[in-house]
Amino acid sequence: MAKQVYLVFSATGKQGRSVIKALTAKGETIVATSRDPNSSSSQSLLKNDRVRAVVKADFNDPDSILSAIEESNATRIWFATDFFSIPWLRRTRHAEAELGRAVVDAIKRAKTTVGGCERIEHVVFSSVGDADNVPEAIQHFWGKADVEKYMASQFDDSLGITWSVLRPVAFFDNVDDPANYNPLTKGSLKFLTRPDKKVKLISCEDIGKGAAVLLTNPEEYAGKIIEAASAELTGLELAEALSEVSGTKCTYSIAVPRFALWLFMGDVYHMVKWFEDVGYSADVEEFKRIVPDAQDARAFFKAKGQWSNGEKFVSE
């Protein structure tokens, strides 16, 4: 059997790094992409001896996507799209869908026209839970749903490429997100939902593990859409779990006032409202059949082990 090579797009992001980590644990060979392969975050990927190279790819530059695929000589490919990387005034469902379509088109072009790329056999897209089952006002869900639909329409038996979709729910990792002004501060935990409202969650690490399962088992997951969640908790339950693991009594509060979301981040406002009124349909136990050790809140915080400033937890 020919050796598999896995191309991981957006490899310096939280999801991309987690996919690489999970594939590494399986002993796979990986080529990573970055908009700037010479950046420190990109070069740090090469400390992993399973990462063969970091190549340039920018979703806004279709030629760079094609070049990355050609250079990688990959057989299997993982990618995700980032709605919030799009400049604010152009941040629409259509704009996100275009990012994903550019990747799909480049894969198809590589498979059919670029020598050496005929080996591409399976593609996994990381979407979002219930992507096509939410109000249309949540544009970053529907943008991903459009990518899913387009990928399914382009990859068929005649092309010789199969596909799978992983649909993760809200990220545990967002409770410690300094880049978006929500660091995990000692004694405090902040999230977007009201304290008593349950929301389904998953860690980026488990997204990576789930993606690796889909990537390495195309015969089982070809054509399947997998909803991915590992826990369902209220904000108060999250704070309780953090208190127990950290040894510090923690309070819960809403990260951004609802009025501010409505005024400045309408897409997120509608998402949070949907969280509280309807919520994700993912079945936690069903996903754990794919990733048996998927983290609950206590396991996530235990693995994190520290506050955002680097101070270690001191468990009671």
- Give per-residue pLDDT as tens, 165-211: 999 999 999 999 998 899 999 999 999 999 999 999 999 999 999 99
- Note down the domain range covering 70: 5-168+204-228
Amino acid 157: pLDDT: 84
Confidence of residue 102 (pLDDT cuts 50, 70, 90): very high
Residue 306 maps to a domain: no
Residue 294 maps to a domain: no
Confidence of residue 308 (pLDDT cuts 50, 70, 90): very high
Q: Can you give the CATH number for the domain in which 69 is found?
A: 3.40.50.720
Tell me the mean pLDDT in the region 229-241.
Answer: 98
Residue 236 maps to a domain: no
Residue 304 maps to a domain: no
d(CA 236, CA 239): 5
Residue 80 maps to a domain: yes
Domains: count for the chain: 1
Alpha-carbon torsion 225, 100, 118, 42, what sign?
negative
d(CA 29, CA 132): 33
- What percentage of the chain carries pLDDT values higher than 70? 98
- Give per-residue pLDDT as tens, 30-56: 999 999 999 999 999 999 999 999 999
Residue 149 maps to a domain: yes
Length of the chain (residues) = 316
Asked if 174 contacts 191 with a C-beta cutoff of 8 angstroms, the reply is yes
d(CA 141, CA 281): 14
Axis crossing angle, helix 235-246 with helix 297-304, rounded to the nearest 10? 40
Strand segments, DSSP code E, in 111-198 are 122-126, 162-168, 170-171, 188-191
Residue 87 maps to a domain: yes
Confidence of residue 113 (pLDDT cuts 50, 70, 90): confident
Amino acid at 32: A
Q: What is the mean pLDDT of the chain?
A: 96
pLDDT at 1 exceeding the cut of 50? no
Alpha helical stretches, state H, the chain? 14-25, 40-44, 62-72, 93-113, 139-154, 204-216, 218-221, 235-246, 258-264, 266-277, 284-288, 297-304
Asked if 246 contacts 189 with a C-beta cutoff of 8 angstroms, the reply is no
Amino acid 156: pLDDT: 86
Residue 23 maps to a domain: yes
Contacts 24+ apart (CB under 8 A), 152-157: 152/223, 154/104, 154/105, 154/108, 155/104, 155/107, 155/108, 155/123
Confidence of residue 116 (pLDDT cuts 50, 70, 90): low
Q: Is the pTM value of this prediction over 0.85?
A: yes
d(CA 209, CA 23): 8
